[in-house]
Structure 1
Amino acid sequence: MSDPVITIVVIDSDKIICRFIRASLTASGMRVFDASTGAEGLSQAATRLADLAIIDLALPDMDGLEVIRELRGWSAIPVIVLSARSREEDKVAALDAGADDYLTKPFGLPELRARIRAHLRRQVCGWRVSEPQVQFGLITVDLGERRVARGSHTIHLSPTEYRLLSTLLRHPGRVVTHEQLLGEVWGPAQTRNHHYLRIYMGHLRHKLESDPARPEYIITESGVGYRLVGVR
């Protein structure tokens, strides 16, 4: 039986770069799918069962760091950042967000292929992705499609509400502190603004809980933070 084909997802709005990468990796026997937006890229990574993702930080709909964080909510595949940003702080931010490697533009295709091979060799267990679709109670969250539903009915969350929910989903059953939630959802400058968090957590409970006054899933840990329970 032949080895399974390696699947790569490239998330970059530059069509010329996507075309170069696709031609090079396809010639090496890999299967390549590309996306020009972060949302489309997350969907591709989930539906194509990607083995590795290449992500630019400058995307038209969302920052590449946010794409990495959302992908890390349900996937352990290697992530290589391919960006024109060359400052040390940009590289540190990407690695802290969950990237495994960082390559600056302009780049050489032989080096990119070598880095891909190196990361794939480290994947002892092959496809290392948990289900991109999770449930708690009657709520289903499709992290790849960024869709939330109760049964067959779609629940419309604002971008901030969705980021808040996806942050809780990255730590199922565990307490996430006020400061951690504020830092991940609103940025490091807002870690003292607990009022923001209370307001948006209230919005989220009204949309997701059967009885927002007595929540079953989004639990308050008094003075510490919040915990999402019942995830399966």
Structure 2
Amino acid sequence: MGEGQQRRVLVVDDEPTIAQSVAARLRAEGFDVDIAADGPSAVAMAAARQPDLVVLDVMLPGFDGLEVCRRIQAERPVPVLMLTARDEETDLLVGLAVGADDYLTKPFSIRELAARVHALLRRAGRAAQLDGRKIVLADLVIDVVERRVHRAGDEVHLTPTEFQLLVHLAGRPRAVLPRERLLAEVWGWGEAAGTRTVDSHVKALRRKLGADLIRTVHGVGYALEVPR
């Protein structure tokens, strides 16, 4: 999509006050916004309208936001910002596992949501511009052109954000990257309030690629260890 074209956002929430407030703010930011209030209509609207980003509540009638995310991502990968009333680590990890890129816990600031939307779209643009190459570190192979990852010969399916975080860490193997730096360079955030987002994505990568791959440096950040 060119610079002059209007970005489209799909807002999915069954609480009309929240949906309208989010939509009004995003329209004021220059986005074309559609609204859906339940799971089935969200999936149908995503297929028909092809949004550039989805703001998606977890608790929905019909079927929940996790199922919506799973179905949308199966058809066409798109950045997803999940909204959840719960802050349990397992809920957040499940959301990341089905393809969500980021999350906000209710109640949230509309200003913060708008900032996250802009950051996600910037990150999606950067991901499309990754230079064509392979990163090979022992049994870990990252094909940046085809956006595929293999460990010990087995293909591992990552979400777009997990892939970009892995590429970022693998580009500086063994170097310790602070959480704040990862937030700025991978997520495009200028402040450190979302460091738990980094932690959640690292946990997802460890679950998929092996606990030995990413080392935690307590109080600082993470480093990718070269597999033996």
Instruction: Tell me the TM-score range normalised by the shorter chain.
Output: 0.5 to 0.7
Partner of 1:176: none
State the partner residue of 1:103: 104
1:30 Cα shift?
0.5
Q: Which residue does 2:42 correspond to in 1? A: 41
Equivalent residue, structure 2, for 1:11 = 12
In the TM superposition, 1:74-223 aligns within 5 A as 74-124=75-125
Could you give the per-residue CA deviations for residues 121-147 of structure 1, whole angstroms, max 9, x where no partner exists?
A: 1223899xxxxxxxxxxxxxxxxxxxx
User: Counterpart in 1 of 2:24?
Assistant: 23
Could you tell me which residue of structure 2 aligns to residue 53 of structure 1? 54
Report SS of the residue matched to 2:124: coil
Distance 1:58 1:2 in 2: 34
Q: What whole-Å deviation, never above 9, does each CA across 1:13-38 have from its counterpart, x for those lacking one?
A: 01000110011000111011110111
What whole-Å deviation, never above 9, does each CA across 1:152-205 have from its counterpart, x for those lacking one? xxxxxxxxxxxxxxxxxxxxxxxxxxxxxxxxxxxxxxxxxxxxxxxxxxxxxx
Distance (Å, rounded) in 2 between the aligned partners of 1:110 and 1:61? 29
- What is the CA deviation profile of residues 103-138 of structure 1, one whole-angstrom value per residue up to 9, with x for unaligned ones? 0000001111111111101223899xxxxxxxxxxx
Residue matched to 2:140? none
Deviations 1:61-98 (A, max 9, x none): 10211111111111211000011121111111111111
- Partner Cα separation in structure 2 for residue 104 and residue 125 of structure 1: 26
Q: Distance in 2 between matches of 1:50 and 1:120?
A: 11
Residue 69 of structure 1 pairs with residue 70 of structure 2: yes
Q: Would the alpha carbon gap of residues 2 and 77 (structure 1) be closer, same or farther in structure 2, given more than 3 Å must change?
A: closer
- Alpha-carbon distance in structure 2 between the residues aligned to 1:125 and 1:113: 19
d(CA) in 1 for partners of 2:21, 2:105: 15
Aligned positions, number = 127
Q: Secondary structure of the residue that 2:50 maps to in structure 1?
A: coil
Aligned residue type for 1:18: A
Cα displacement (A) at 1:2: 6.3
| 1:2 to 1:67, Cα distance in 2 relative to 1, 3 A | closer
When the two chains are superposed, the root-mean-square deviation of aligned CA atoms in Å is 1.8
Unpaired runs of 5+ residues, structure 1, are 128-232
The SS at the match of 1:55 is strand
Aligned counterparts of 1:39 and 1:20: Cα–Cα separation in 2? 22
Identity rate, percent: 39
Q: One-letter code of the match for 2:91?
A: D
Q: Distance in 2 between matches of 1:48 and 1:125?
A: 23
| Paired amino acid for 2:44 | S
